[in-house]
Chain A
Amino acid sequence: MSRTRLHPAALLALTISAALPAPALAHIVNGEAVGFVSGFLHPVSGWDHIIAMVAVGLWGAQLGRPAIWVLPVTFPLVMSVGGFLGLIGLRVPGGEIAIALSGLCLGAAVALSWRPPLAIAAVLVGLFGLFHGYAHGVELPPGQNALLYSLGFVLATGMLHATGVAIGLVHRWPWGRWALRAAGVAIGCGGAVFLWSALA
């Protein structure tokens, strides 16, 4: 009797479909925190957040051990502190400017291949993470399942960092180092555009 094996791609599709439940709801729930998917999509909804988070991963990969994992661990933790402050209603001025600056500064750090002591890099990344988290925390809507929303939110942030780290692994090759610097320039330019918008 021959055994039928499920193709990995089919298995992956099955997993994704199971992970994306579509509950039948009697009311429109646009903007409400209904679960994992809403939380997962929130951090990837704005390019100002995306470029900064990817830049953290790129910079960590450029700096090597232990920054390659310290920076991506620092960012979500401090970001959640910022989210907590935003959720409890604390007012932090200049959030949009700080977020735009994060893209500019982290892009510049990658472009210049800046190598500060680990503590300085962690504090810088943590400071920017605080503002990113605060902006998300202020925007978070009341929902029905805060835990799944929070998990999706943190997971998406972590995966953006992991994407940056994975791309940053090209740093081992000479062409990769130049490519990373070019990516840093692109991120810095993006940050400058967002800064211009925030100041305008």
Chain B
Amino acid sequence: MRRRFTATAMAIAALLAPGLAQAHLVVTGMGPIYDGVTHFALSPEDSLPVVALAFYAGLRGPGSSRLLLAVLPSAWFVGGLLACLSGVALPPTALPLATAVVFLAMGGLLASDLTLSTPYHAVAAIAVGLVRGAADLGGAPAEAGSLLDLAGMCVAAFALFALAVSVTLPLKRFWMIVAARVAGSWVAAAGLLLAGWILRFGAKVQ
């Protein structure tokens, strides 16, 4: 019980600790892979959709979870690779708005606990991975360091997804499932507010 409390407290602290949005990749001094891992860990716009998707996959069962465990980091890598190598300049609000839509969609899926066939789960994971991978690596130089950063983010996405799925897969009690779905509604609500904010104030908000 004490260990679970400690782990929960540490997780909340890690999630809430960052005070400022950072426009650049985090530099830890331990190399680009750890920079990527840290960037992912300190970016709620990366970690929350992954947690929401993982909770949803966990509620749907182990088959879907196993598939998404492979699909999500792969899509993340492809999204980052495309953004890094293509050099295409998207409108400044495009990726933040896409992130808001991802929040809305993943939170909505979890809150509604919608019964979808497994290929649709994979489509959701691909969307999350492509959008956030592209957002993380957009504007980064096409060099080995950026790719290692990206690799670190993919590893972190894999690890967080696996951990979050392992929390929801064994859930049987009604109130625990409800708690997961309530968390989904909060993620969706935050996504909708974020979308309104971006439409009103533009890309400078994020």
Contact = CB atoms under 8 A, between A and B. Distances in A.
Chain A residues touching B, range: 35 or more
Contacts of B199: 87-88
A148 B21 contact: yes
Contacts of B182: 69, 72-73, 158
Given A84-B195, A144-B20, A11 B200 contact: no
A11 B7 CA distance: 11
Contact of A84 (B2, B185, B192): B192
A14 B186 CA distance: 25
Interface in B1-36: 2, 5-6, 9-10, 12-13, 16-21
Per DSSP, chain A at the interface is helix
Interface in B125-158: none
B128 to A, nearest CB: 15
Given A69-B182, A147-B45, A15 B9 contact: yes
Contacts of B10: 15
Name which of A12, A76, A85, A150 has the most chain B CB atoms within 10 A of its CB.
Answer: A150
Instruction: Bin the interface of chain B by size.
Output: 35 or more
Contacts of B9: 11-12, 14-15
A147 B181 CA distance: 20
Interface string A123-156: 0000000000000010010111111111101110
A80 B13 contact: no
Contacts of B18: 21, 148
A15 B12 CA distance: 7
A12 B192 CA distance: 31
Contacts of B205: 33, 142-146
A35 interface: yes
A140 B186 contact: no
A122 interface: no
A19 interface: yes
Interface of B: 2, 5-6, 9-10, 12-13, 16-21, 44-45, 48, 99, 111, 178, 181-182, 185-186, 188-201, 204-206
19 contacts: A12-B9, A35-B20, A69-B178, A73-B182, A76-B189, A77-B189, A77-B192, A80-B190, A80-B192, A84-B193, A142-B204, A144-B205, A146-B194, A146-B206, A147-B190, A151-B44, A153-B193, A154-B193, A158-B186
